[in-house]
Structure 1
Amino acid sequence: MPVPFLGRLHPAEYLALVGSFLIIALEAVIRVFTLALPPFLVSLCYQASRRIFNRYSSPEQKRAENKKKSVSTSVREASDFVELCRLWGYEAEEHIVQTTDGFLLGIHRLQWRRGEEGQKVNSGPTSIKKRVAYLHHGLLMNSEVWVCLTDEQRCLPFELLERGFDVWFGNNRGNKYSKKSIHSSPTSVKFWDFSMDEFAFHDIPDTIAYILEATQQPSLSYIGFSQGTAQAFATLAIHPKLNDQVNVFIGLAPAMAPAGLSNGIVDSLVKASPSVLFLMFGRRSILSSATMWETIFYPPLFCRLIDMALAFLFKWQTKNISASQKLAAYPHLYSFTSTKSVVHWFQIIRNRSFQMYDDDVHQPMSVSTSQKYSKVAKYPTRNIRTPVVLVYGGSDSLVDIASMLKELPRQTVATEIPHYEHLDFLWARDVSTQVFQHVFDALDNFTDADHRAEEYGRYHLARNESLIGSGFTFVNHRGSESDASTIAGSNDGQPSTPRVYRHLAREDTMGNSPSGSLAGRPTDPATASAQGVRWADKAKPKDGEVGDDGVLVVKEKNGEKEEQGEKEKEQP
């Protein structure tokens, strides 16, 4: 029998792998012991965790917890997607999509603005006609992550709904809303035998087909978060006809082939064989005990544990998400998925290739490279014809934008928000000002699936106007945690060149000064030249200066836009 990870790991990584086995075994023992406890002892554990948190928390942390306690509690305790929407006065519909391989996916729909309830939308010649937006979640998530916010104006789906969109939400097979198949039971190993390949070959295309049939529309706009973007990359790459049904693909915190993780334990798991990972986590749902621990720990302590885990795994600080938002959203963060889908991501990271799942674990014996006889197919993402608009965080360790742009069509547009991490695109206190206009610009200018050159020209014009502050002034109608943004311009490359914009954010309300960066630029001149991006090895231009890359930096202060030079001050 071959040794599954011989030659892949260094001695220190073997120790890390053994340590991870011990941690998982310890968690399993504690979990079994906890499940055997009577309910009153579980309640005592909850009370004890609350006392521990209150004892060691600072007064500032306690005030942050109580600031929006009522709203956070309502969002945290909401049982499902429909209840979350009702908290803000919106009625959601539930639909079932049967995939071509027999899985039943629960998806959701928001079609009515307040006061429109009961009216027909996209259901015949006499109904209200609305453009369709389809939102899809990330890894180990479900559709609830889009609507579990403590301010409705920071909720992208609600804003899209108020702008006249018919908004749909997808769910992957295996998660909370899609845990059923006509061929197998979720208690069987067969049910969980899926990876991202099945998402791309079945879940996404079948969901799009259902939505277009239900709305009687020729095309829709796709907005993905994290793995939701990877699923769209894969789907559009292998289904040419779908490119004629998706008028624009907007990727928030896009994921394709993330760089290796710095954490030793996780890095050892990435390099290990799938056999080792299946031995550790089983062949069904991964990390399924997370829901149990969420019910046992006092909510602020549970949030602290999540923050510690994110810092440990990805070095995320989560400073852009308020304490009240974490209390509300973290209980909705996790949903079920297969161990195989996580193994698939580890293969992608290890091989640095956005590839299909590698089933051939034991390669043929050869003294030369095994790729001569067996090579896993990559998703042909350069074949995508749908306009691709990416918005990513400069502080997101899971995004390698330079490598991503090399694998995407040359008309791809990428915009960096330097101080943003991964989850900030869902729940940051200033997400409405930092992110939403990028989404609206793309939706407003790519309106059909013809993908004409005029649409690209119109989009880049609107994009430039928004970035320099002359075409967009955010008006806060409802009051929020949001902070105003400071925006910088773009590089002015050829239409066929990937465009990378810099979005330079000012200090947030917590006093954290986000660092500016070269806006998704490659970190070496050679790579920059290959991508058509101009390189300047010098300091970032100051406020009002135009750098060598043609970027005009504009800052907003005290309600006025201050532009140094010949331009006069304007009111926002």
Structure 2
Amino acid sequence: MHLYCIFILLCVLFCDLHKCKASTSNDSQSYFTEASESALSEDGRLNFTELAIKYGQFVEQYDVTTEDGYILTIFHVAKDLNTPNKPILLFHGIIDSSDTFLIRGNNSWVVNMGEAGYGVWVGNNRGNLYGRRHITLNPDTDQEFWDYSLHEIGYYDLAATIDFVREKAKCDSILTVGHSQGTSAHFVLTSLRPEYNDKISLFIALAPVAYLNYLEPPVSIAAGAGPIITMLLRSLNINELLRNHSVATDLVTSLCTNSVLSYLRCGFGTLFPFAGFDPAGLEEEFLTGVVFGHYPRTTSRKSLEHYNQIALRRQFAQYDYGFFMNLINYGRIYPPEYDLTAVTAKIALFVGSADGVSKVKDVVRLGNTLPNVVHFEVMELERWNHVDFVWGKDIMSEYLYPTVLELLKTYE
């Protein structure tokens, strides 16, 4: 949805055309891998479990298998795993992973929700480094593995994850937090499988994405270029994007790590113009030393294409397969819209006025459509952007955390 993604896609195209994917074996790494990892801080190199342990947490790892066969890793984090606490599930955005809720260390969602007395569960969607398994499909050889978008992530991944947490915690309902695509997944699930509304006590929606009608340049320009990029990717049969430790992703990491030039290039030059301008909340040391060790993560071509369709068609609708395939899949020539009036779960909407993707006007429309919004807030800090909700240094300040905590206590 922003130029950073387009830049990465061009890298992916270049590398796939030249057959230059890096080896992922334990015996060898690409030059870019070694160069980029040496530039990262310790937190930029650690995985989820290692980060949790570093910041004083106990962590358990489980496998969740979806109805359509994907095997997803979910983490349970707490100061004391044996103490029963009200469960809260954190669900990440696109080209991201569970790491996003922990990379701020002591100021992260994971640590602070645990300190507040909740049993913290952190999910992953199919395709990323914690969701690259299937009971029959091989992600390296079976293109069918990558035939998914936000629809399947909501309908299958989020559903299976919620059910797993409820069973483990022995609770009828749980609290949930979603960021960006994680919010879209919630809207898909609760509109199409209404029984899940009663399984969610309260949904905290951070930078919610459903309608994309009010995009502005340069995001709107990127969206306009989407069909051309999609056509090129399709013609080259490229369905997996941003493969972990491909030359493309290692090159991006190398270009974006640990220098003033990296900050100017990947912060000021790419991320800020599209996510929203906030160098005060996303400082150089954190962005170049930590974030780009965990982001971007693998996704499917279809995921980006589905969002592009939503933006260009100006409807929060299911994936558009084209005239004939729509008739086969939906019994109609156009894909059906997700019925947001069927979403009866209690929802709190938070949006930043500087967000380049989740625009305030779109979230206002969303709030007016959903029938059970218990809280709507435009962040007080005018510089608050799309990724500040998970990466910003002000996450746990008076601007967000106290309100979220009050809402959770009210509806738990």
SS of the residue corresponding to residue 183 of structure 2 reads helix
- Can you list the C-alpha shifts for 1:220-242, whole angstroms capped at 9, x where unaligned? 00101111111111111112211
Residue 42 (structure 2) aligned to one of 74, 91, 95:
74
After TM superposition, give the deviation of residue 329 of structure 1 in Å. Answer: 2.0
Q: What stretches of structure 1 of length at least 5 have no aligned partner?
A: 1-15, 51-71, 121-127, 365-370, 448-572
Look up the equivalent residue of 1:92 and give its one-letter code.
Answer: V
Distance 2:297 2:229 in 1: 25
Amino acid of the residue matched to residue 162 of structure 1?
Answer: E
Tell me, in whole angstroms, the C-alpha distance in 2 between the residues paired with 1:22 and 1:229. 24
Match in the other structure for 1:509? none
Partner of 1:123: none
The question of whether the paired residues in 2 share the 8 Å contact of 1:141 and 1:335 is answered with: yes
State how 1:539-558 maps to structure 2 within 5 Å.
Answer: none
Contact persistence 2:211–2:366 (CA under 8 A): yes
Q: 1:269 matched to which residue of 2?
A: 225
> Whose helix fraction is larger, Structure 1's or Structure 2's?
2
Q: Distance in 2 between matches of 1:214 and 1:22?
A: 39
2:96 match: 141
Aligned twin of 1:401: 363
Matched, 1:207 2:194: no
> How high is the TM-score relative to the length of structure 2?
0.83
- C-alpha displacement at 1:275, in angstroms? 3.7
Mapping of 1:350-369 within 5 angstroms? 350-360=312-322
The residue identity in structure 2 corresponding to 1:279 is: S
Q: Which amino acid aligns with 1:381?
A: L
CA pair 25-166 structure 1, distance change in 2 beyond 3 A = closer
1:226 corresponds, among 180, 184, 187, to 180
CA distance in 2, matches of 1:388, 1:22: 34
Percent same amino acid at aligned positions? Answer: 23
Given that 2:12 and 2:242 are in contact with CA atoms closer than 8 Å, whether structure 1 keeps it comes out as no
Partners of 1:404 and 1:306 in 2: CA distance: 31
Instruction: Please list the CA deviations of residues 455-483 of structure 1 after superposition, one character each: whole Å capped at 9, or x if unmatched.
Output: xxxxxxxxxxxxxxxxxxxxxxxxxxxxx
Please tell me the residue identity of whatever aligns with 2:392: A
Contact 2:22 2:29 in 1 (8 A): no
Q: Is the 8 A contact 1:261 1:314 kept in 2?
A: no
1:195 to 99, 124, 149: 149
- Residues 408 and 25 of structure 1: is their aligned pair in 2 closer, same or farther, counting only changes over 3 Å? closer
For residue 253 of structure 1, what is the aligned residue in structure 2?
207
Residue 313 to residue 179, structure 1, CA distance change in 2 (3 Å) = same
- When Rg is computed on C-alpha atoms for both structures, the one with the higher figure is 1
Q: Kindly tell me: are residues 303 and 293 of structure 1, through their superposed partners in 2, closer, same or farther at Cα, counting changes over 3 Å?
A: farther
Match of 2:392 in 1: 428
Contact 2:9 2:241 (8 Å CA) reproduced: no
CA distance in 1, matches of 2:33, 2:371: 57
Aligned partner of 1:310 in structure 2 is 271
Cα contact 1:320–1:424 (8 A) shared by 2: yes
SS of residue matched to 2:71: strand
1:330 aligns with 2:295: no
Asked whether the 8 Å contact 2:146–2:239 carries over to 1, the reply is: yes
Indicate the SS of the match to 2:202: strand
Alignment-mate amino acid for residue 377 of structure 1:
P
Distance 1:261 1:338, change over 3 A: farther
Residues 1:167 and 2:120 are matched in the alignment: yes
CA change 1:161–1:32 in 2 (3 A) is: same
1:291 is aligned with what amino acid? T
Are the counterparts in 2 of residues 318 and 421 from structure 1 also a CA contact under 8 Å? no
Aligned partners of 2:290 and 2:375: how far apart in 1? 33
In structure 1, the residue matched to 2:195 is 241
- Distance verdict in 2 for CA 1:41–1:397, change over 3 Å: closer
> After alignment, is 264-273 or 399-408 more displaced?
264-273
- Partners in 2 of 1:376 and 1:231 — Cα distance? 17
Q: Which residue of structure 1 lines up, in the alignment, with residue 308 of structure 2?
A: 346
What displacement does 1:386 show? Answer: 1.1
Matches within 5 A, 1:88-103: 88-103=55-70
CA spacing shift, 1:141–1:388, aligned 2, 3 Å: same
Q: Which has the higher contact order (CA 8 A, sep 6+)?
A: 2
Residues 101, 159 of structure 1: CA spacing in aligned structure 2 closer, same or farther, 3 A cutoff? same
From 250, 258, 261, the counterpart of 1:292: 250
CA distance in structure 2 between the aligned counterparts of 1:45 and 1:81, rounded to whole angstroms: 20
1:330-363: CA deviation from partner (whole Å, max 9, x where unpaired): 2112111111111111011111111111112569
Query: Contact 1:405–1:412 (CA<8 Å) still a contact in 2?
Result: no
Deviates more, 1:154-163 or 1:288-297: 288-297
CA shift, 1:314, in A, is: 4.6
CA distance in 2, matches of 1:216, 1:25: 44
Whether contact under 8 Å (1:174, 1:336) holds in the other structure is yes
Q: Which residue of 1 aligns with 2:15?
A: 28
Change beyond 3 A, Cα 1:73–1:215: same
Q: In the alignment, is the contact (CA less than 8 A) between 1:393 and 1:420 conserved in 2?
A: yes
CA shift in 2, pair 1:273/1:30, >3 Å: closer
Equivalent in 390, 410, 416 of residue 378 of structure 2: 416
RMSD (Å), alpha carbons: 3.3
Is it true that 1:178 corresponds to 2:131 in the alignment?
Answer: yes
Match of 1:108, SS state, is strand
Q: Secondary structure at the match of 1:324?
A: helix
- Aligned partner letter, 1:250: I
Q: 1:486-525, aligned counterparts within 5 Å?
A: none
1: CA distance, partners of 2:76 / 2:12 = 41
**Structure 1 residues 115-161: Cα deviation after superposition (integer angstroms, max 9, x where no partner):** x3xx62xxxxxxx3310100000000000011011x50x21221111
Shift of 1:32: 5.4
Alpha-carbon shift at residue 273 of structure 1 (Å): 8.6
- Amino acid of the residue matched to residue 438 of structure 1? T
| Cα distance in 1 for residues equivalent to 2:339 and 2:410 | 26
What amino acid is the match of 1:414? F
Name the amino acid aligned to 2:281.
N
Code of the aligned partner of 1:437: P
2:43 is matched by which residue type in structure 1? V
> Is 1:86–2:53 an aligned residue pair?
yes
